[in-house]
Amino acid sequence: MSEFFSGRRETEALTDGEPVTDQLLDQVGEDAERDSQALADQVRRQEAEAAASEQLPVSGARPRSLLGDAWYELRHRPIFWVSSVVIVAVLAIAIFPNAFADVDETSSLTGGCNFDNYLQPPSSQFWFGTDQLGCDVYSLTIFGARPSLAVGLIASLLTVALGSAIGVIAGFYGGWIDAVLSRIVDIFFGLPLLLGGIVVLTAISFPSIWGVVFVLVVLGWVSAARLVRSTTIEAKGQDYVMAARALGASNSRIMWRHVLPNAIGPSIVVAVIGLGVYIGAEATFSYLGLGLQDPDFSWGTMISSAQEVFFQAPWTLLFPAGFLTLTILAFILMGDAVSEALDPKRQK
Amino acid sequence: MSRAVRKTAGAEGWTGPLLSVEDLNVQFKTRDGLVRAVNGVSFELNAGETIAILGESGSGKSVTAQAVMGILDMPPASIPKGSIRLKGRELVGLSEKDYREIRGTQIAMIFQDALSSLNPVISVGEQIAEMYRLHDGLSRSDAKTAAIDVMQRVRIPAAAQRFGDYPHQFSGGMRQRIMIAMMISQRPQLLIADEPTTALDVTVQAQVMELLAELQRDSDMGLILITHDLGVVADVAQRITVMYAGRTMEQGTVDEIYDQPANPYTIGLLESIPKLAETVERLPAIRGLPPNLLQVPPGCPFHPRCPLAQDVCRRDPRPPLETVSEGHVSSCWFAKEVHARGGLRV
């Protein structure tokens, strides 16, 4: 047994009298070289593995309290504060319109618009001017905020709720459930939003904002579903999911309590950006005469009716359109800020 | 049947081993072919006893543990052959629902990396309390009290104040304690610890092992320690199973294996432990890497790395488990010779 595992063994075997020959020393050197080669390979593999695990977005090398970190990040971003101010202002207008405009005195909204004030330019009495029915554009803009925001908020909440539920089920169970749900997602993904919306809204009439909400949710949930499905597949492979199983948690418990909270981050971003997009979509449908119907009105319906008199009275278009653009911009900027804050790879 | 009754069901009058694994085979269907991760592994564990399963990465030790826990994803995994009995009750083929009632309450498992094994978005106290709500049906406030109790049992300082902290706010050793607290909360009879101290530094390792040993003494639970670190094993385990490429290479008591190993692979593992009393230029390592489980070499799977390998080792059949002394078996054509040389170890 002259060679056993190590150079040390070899020299030891020779301690009973025999001199250590050069040949054996060479052998030892070769062994050591081979060992160090193997060791280097192993180190490289481990490093590669470590690097791979660090690339996992949400819970990789430094999993932390997701929302706590995100909030810390957000507080240090000027864009977050700018968009917050705009969003808070618009929300305040939407929730308490009476604090900003007095319906009775400045103008009457329904049935009380005064034709004597037909298309007045902005003045100290009518800050944003008046429209072709003699209504005060300022008051209309203020009171139009609520339906616009309501559509955006409700639609993006429902979109994310529906999309997340379907996405987490598809991603978690995999197999044929995933195959079926993913094909359904693909089908809905193929439906164009505008055309689909026009068809549905023309065919069926809904009260108030619900038609637009219905269309936006039915055609919009797929992107959230796709997103949550992929983040679920990733979260499913994490150790804490295996640990939860080892502790006797059922599938549904693991799915809703352990996987979903860790998989929903990116779809929050989609929801915030979607809010702006849905407000714009409502305006589009209303502009086409398919959104809100009289006596309901929003920024969208205002823009729609302003088109007839735009060259005579551009203020009828500019003010509601300005509010609309500013609001959408604020939500999209907010979405950007949130997405950067939720992305651990960008954290310093 | 109430939960209390179910917990002790099967325990009455049971005098056999707590866990007996016989000829366990686990395979994974992959795109590249069938991976036989565990091949014919057998061992027994009595209540209050600690056994260690040793091996390099890819040796099948963790898969064995996951098979016992019933947390392998099937498919792609399957158990074509073998039996796992907990107090005489067959677990292979048990329905997911029945298995779920055993997991966490009768058998529990500690994972290597406590940080990734704890849910990052739920506070640790909540995660422990969830065990009591889930399995014992305790109310929210009772579960909280119970969770703080068990956090104190694993010696987390200021347990009540730290109830609401998140996993990332704890040190590595404390996180592993939290993991242990979760796992022992239901007083399982069998605890599997899969490399429980690998991610920790040496002093913390000792504390965690001490804690595990103490908890085991208090509750007479059986402990399976899965590790690649022979140093951790010596003080706690009574018996060792050495695995390589999904096979049992050697099995015996700790003393037998440390003093008179009967398998070249075990000797290689023993030699690669740094020893304080000696100064060596470089630590002897087993050269080469463990085999790819898709292409396990014929004959003895260890032969390409074995300094003793002869022609007989390179040909099928694989060497059978040979008894070298009572309760000490080794899978090597030269088991008796290697064993007889005794004290090979420095």
C-beta of residue B111 within 8 angstroms of C-beta of residue A243? yes
Do A255 and A340 lie in one domain? The reply is yes
B200 against A88, higher pLDDT? A88
Do A257 and A301 lie in one domain? The reply is yes
Chain B closest-CA separation from residue A39 CA (Å): 8
- Inter-chain Cβ pairs, chain A and chain B, closer than 8 A: 116
Do A196 and A242 lie in one domain? The reply is yes
* Amino acid, single-letter form, for residue B209: M
Chain B closest-CA separation from residue A247 CA (Å): 4
- The complex's ipTM works out to 0.72
Do A172 and A242 lie in one domain? The reply is yes
Beta carbons of B308 and A59 less than 8 Å apart: no
What is the pLDDT, as a whole number, of residue A44? Answer: 55
Q: Please tell me the distance from the alpha carbon of residue B225 to that of residue B234, in angstroms, as a whole number.
A: 11
* Amino acid, single-letter form, for residue A178: D
- From chain A, the residues in CB contact with B282 under 8 A are 32, 35
**Structural domain for A222, as ranges:** 66-346
What is the pLDDT, as a whole number, of residue B204? Answer: 78
Q: Is residue A244 part of a domain?
A: yes
pLDDT tens profile B254-273: 888 888 888 888 888 887 77
- Mutant choice from B74, B95, B119, B179 vs A, greatest count of A C-beta within 10 A: B119
Residue A153 CA: distances (Å) to CA of A142, A148, A227: 17, 9, 20
Q: What phi and psi values does residue A330 have, to the nearest 5 degrees?
A: -60, -45
Domain count, chain A: 2
What is the pLDDT, as a whole number, of residue A36? Answer: 55
Q: Taking 70 as the threshold, does the pLDDT of residue A158 lie above it? A: yes
Given the candidates 3.40.50.300, 3.40.50.970, 3.30.300.30, 3.40.50.620, the CATH classification of the domain at B3-237 is 3.40.50.300
B344 against A101, higher pLDDT? A101
Do A32 and A81 lie in one domain? The reply is no
pLDDT tens profile A318-339: 888 888 888 888 888 888 888 7
Tokens of A283: 């305006």
Mean pLDDT of chain B: 80
**A interface toward B at CB cutoff 8 Å?**
1, 3-9, 12, 31-32, 34-35, 38-39, 41-42, 58-59, 62-68, 238-240, 242-250, 253, 257-258, 261-262
Beta carbons of A35 and B282 less than 8 Å apart: yes
Q: Is residue A60 part of a domain?
A: no
CA-wise closest residue to A53 among B116, B236, B340: B116
Do A228 and A203 lie in one domain? The reply is yes
Nearest-CA residue of chain B relative to A242? B71
Chain B closest-CA separation from residue A177 CA (Å): 15
Q: Is residue A136 part of a domain?
A: yes
**HSE-up (13 A, CA, CB side) for residue B142:** 8
Q: Taking 90 as the threshold, does the pLDDT of residue A180 lie above it? A: yes
Q: Taking 50 as the threshold, does the pLDDT of residue A314 lie above it? A: yes
Q: Taking 50 as the threshold, does the pLDDT of residue A347 lie above it? A: no
Do A204 and A120 lie in one domain? The reply is yes
Task: Say what the pTM is.
Answer: 0.66
Tokens of A143: 């009171």
Q: Is residue A93 part of a domain?
A: yes
What is the pLDDT, as a whole number, of residue A7? Answer: 42
Do A140 and A244 lie in one domain? The reply is yes
- Mutant choice from A25, A240, A347 vs B, greatest count of B C-beta within 10 A: A240
Whether omega before B76 lies within 30 degrees of 0, making that bond cis, reads yes
CA-wise closest residue to B191 among B65, B85, B101, B42: B65
Q: Is residue A237 part of a domain?
A: yes
Sign of CA dihedral B216, B217, B221, B226: positive
Q: Please tell me the distance from the alpha carbon of residue A342 to that of residue A58, in angstroms, as a whole number.
A: 8
Q: Please tell me the distance from the alpha carbon of residue A45 to that of residue A43, in angstroms, as a whole number.
A: 5
Percentage of residues in chain A having pLDDT higher than 90: 3
CATH number at residue A145: 1.10.3720.10
- From chain B, the residues in CB contact with A247 under 8 A are 103-104, 108, 131, 134, 182-183
Residue recorded with tokens 């005098």: B15
Going edge to edge, which strands form the sheet with B19-30?
A: B33-45, B19-30, B77-86, B89-90
Q: Is residue A1 part of a domain?
A: no
- Residue A312's pLDDT band, with cuts at 50, 70 and 90, is confident
A9 against A109, higher pLDDT? A109
Q: Which residues of chain B have pLDDT under 50?
A: 1-10, 345-346
Tokens of B30: 């992959």
Do A29 and A77 lie in one domain? The reply is no
Beta carbons of B104 and A3 less than 8 Å apart: no
What is the pLDDT, as a whole number, of residue A310? Answer: 80
Per-residue pLDDT, averaged over A76-88, amounts to 87
Do A205 and A279 lie in one domain? The reply is yes
Chain B closest-CA separation from residue A46 CA (Å): 11
Work out the burial of residue A309: count CB atoms within 10 Å of its CB; fewer than 13 is exposed, 13-18 middle, 19 or more buried. middle
DSSP per position, B280-345: -SS-----S-PPPTTSPPSSSTTGGG-TT--HHHHSSSPPPEEEEETTEEEE-TTHHHHHHT----
The residue extents of the domains of chain B are 3-237
Q: Is residue A170 part of a domain?
A: yes
- Residue A183's pLDDT band, with cuts at 50, 70 and 90, is very high
Least trusted range by pLDDT, from A205-214, A248-257, B274-283, B332-341: B274-283
Do A275 and A326 lie in one domain? The reply is yes
Q: Please tell me the distance from the alpha carbon of residue B346 to that of residue B96, in angstroms, as a whole number.
A: 49
Sign of CA dihedral A204, A207, A212, A213: negative
Do A49 and A74 lie in one domain? The reply is no
